[in-house]
Amino acid sequence: MVVKMNNVVKRYNELIALDHFNMEVVEGEILGLLGPNGCGKTTAISCILSLIRFSKGEIEVFGQRMTPNSYDIKKKIGLVPQDVSVFDNLNVQENVDYFCGLYVDDKKTRQKYVAQALEFVGLMDYIKFYPKKLSGGLKRRLNIACGIAHKPELIFLDEPTIGVDPQSRNFMLEGIKELNRQGSTIIYTTHYLDEAEMLCRRIIIMDNGKDLVTGTTEELKKMITTSEIIVVTFPLISEELINELRNLPRVIDIDTNDEEYIIKFENGVNNLSNLLEFINEHNLSYTSLHSKLPTLNEVFLELTGKELRD
C-alpha cells in the first residue's frame, strides 16, 4: 500500500473538513478523489503530506508514518498543487531546475530530467519565459513540470486542469496517463466527472469530508439503482400521458427539460422496447430518442441527492 488513511478527522473550528475519512492507494494505480469544491479533497492531500495537523486517525505513506521530517519519504513524492506554485522571478527552466535540484544532486542527471520534464509538458519553446508571461494553460503545465521533473514514485495532482483551455487540458490528461505508464502512482483530485472516468482506475467519491463510496467506474455505477437512461423528445405530450409513462415497468424517475424527457430505469431487460411499445400504443410522435448508461454524476446524485456541480 502506497498510502493508507484510516479514520482521519480534520476540523477547522466547528467545520469538519474530514469526517472519519479512509483511503487506500495501491502501487501503480491512478486513484481519483472526486467531489464538489470544498468537500475536503485538498485537505486530505495536505494531511497525507503532513502539511496540516489532523485531529484524529492514522496516515501511512510507503508503510511509514508521515511527519514533516520524513525527508526519505518526501524524496519519493511529487506534488502539483491546485494553485500555480512557482517563483515569479525565475524563468521556466530555472523554476524546474530549482525544484528538481531539491531532489536530484547530480548535475548531469538533473539537466536530463529538467529537459525531459519540459519536453513532457511541451514547454521547450518557453524556457526563458517568466511565469507572468505565460498563459493560464502554460502556467499549469509549468506547475506540473516542477512537480514531476524528479521522477517521483508517488504524485499528487490537485485539480491540475482548473481554468485550462481544452487543448491544454487534453495534453495534460494524456501526460498524466503517460506518467502512470512510466510507473508513478497517482492521486488525482477533481470535480470533473469526465476526467475521473477517463483517467482513474479507482475513484473515491467524497462529500462533506466523507468517503461515500470507493470502486472502479463500473463498480460505482452498479451501486446505484438507475442502470439505464432513455432520453426522448416529445413535441406534444399531455401530463396524463407522462403520469402513465411513470407506470411503465422499472421506471424510477422522469426529469423534463423543455420537450426532452429523461427517463431513468432500474436494472432489467426490455426497458427500451417497453417504451417504444408505449409510444406506438398512444400514437405519440417523437423527434429524437436515445439510450445512455448512467454517468458518475448519476452516481453522485443518487448518493448525495445533489448534482456534483451544485
Partner 1 sequence: MNKLFRNCLYQGKNLFRDPGFLFWALMYPIILFTFFNLAFSGMMNYEPVNINVGVKNDSQIAYILKDIDFLNVHEISGDEIAEKLKSGDISAFIDSNLNLKVAGSGINQTIIKEVVEQIKQTFVLNRPLEKIDFSVDYLEDRNQEANNVAVTFYALIAMVSLYGIFAGIETVSLIQANLSDVGVRINVTPLKKGSFLLAGTIDALLLNLMSNGILLLFITFILRITLFYEFFYSIILIIMGNFLGVALGIFVGASNKKSEDAKSLMAIAITLFLSFLSGLMGPWIKVMLDQKAPLLSRLNPVSIITNNLYRLNFLGSSKSAGEGILFLAFYCIVLILGAYLFLRRKKYDSV
- Of 145-204, which residues contact partner 1 (CB under 8 A)? 146-147
DSSP string, 141-207: HHHHHHHHTT--SEEEEESTTTT--HHHHHHHHHHHHHHHHTT-EEEEEES-HHHHHHH-SEEEEEE
DSSP string, 89-145: TS-HHHHHHHHHHTT---HHHHHHHHHHHHHHTT-GGGTT--GGGS-HHHHHHHHHH
Nearer to partner 1, 13 or 247 (CB): 13
- End-to-end alpha carbon distance in the chain: 34
Q: How far is the CB of 52 from partner 1 (least distance, A)?
A: 5
Q: How far is the CB of 200 from partner 1 (least distance, A)?
A: 22
Strand partners, 286: none
Contacts of 15 (CB under 8 A, 6+ apart): none
Q: How far is the CB of 20 from partner 1 (least distance, A)?
A: 19
- Of 57-86, which residues contact partner 1 (CB under 8 A)? 67-69, 71-72, 74-75, 77, 79, 81, 83-86
Burial class (CB in 10 A: 0-12, 13-18, 19+), 119: exposed
Q: How far is the CB of 108 from partner 1 (least distance, A)?
A: 14
Q: Is 90 in the site for partner 1 (CB under 8 A)?
A: yes
Nearer to partner 1, 105 or 239 (CB): 105
Q: How far is the CB of 77 from partner 1 (least distance, A)?
A: 6
**Angle between the 271-281 and 239-246 helix axes, to the nearest 10 degrees?**
150
In the sheet that 288-292 helps form, which strands lie side by side, from edge to edge? 251-257, 260-266, 226-233, 288-292
Residues in the chain: 310
CA–CA–CA angle 109, 30, 178 (5° rounding)? 45
Nearer to partner 1, 43 or 217 (CB): 43
From candidates 44, 50, 230, 237, binder to partner 1 by CB under 8 A: 50
Draw the binding track, 28-47, toward partner 1 (x: CB under 8 A; -: no contact): ------------------x-
From candidates 26, 27, 37, 51, binder to partner 1 by CB under 8 A: 51
Q: How far is the CB of 114 from partner 1 (least distance, A)?
A: 13
Q: How far is the CB of 297 from partner 1 (least distance, A)?
A: 30
Nearer to partner 1, 104 or 245 (CB): 104
- Of 105-144, which residues contact partner 1 (CB under 8 A)? 105
From candidates 14, 88, 218, 281, binder to partner 1 by CB under 8 A: 88
Q: Is 53 in the site for partner 1 (CB under 8 A)?
A: yes
If one counts every other C-beta atom within 10 angstroms of the C-beta of residue 177, the result is 14
CA distance 227 to 275: 15
- Provide the binding-site residues for partner 1, judged by CB under 8 A: 12, 46, 49-53, 67-69, 71-72, 74-75, 77, 79, 81, 83-90, 94, 97-99, 101-103, 105, 146-147
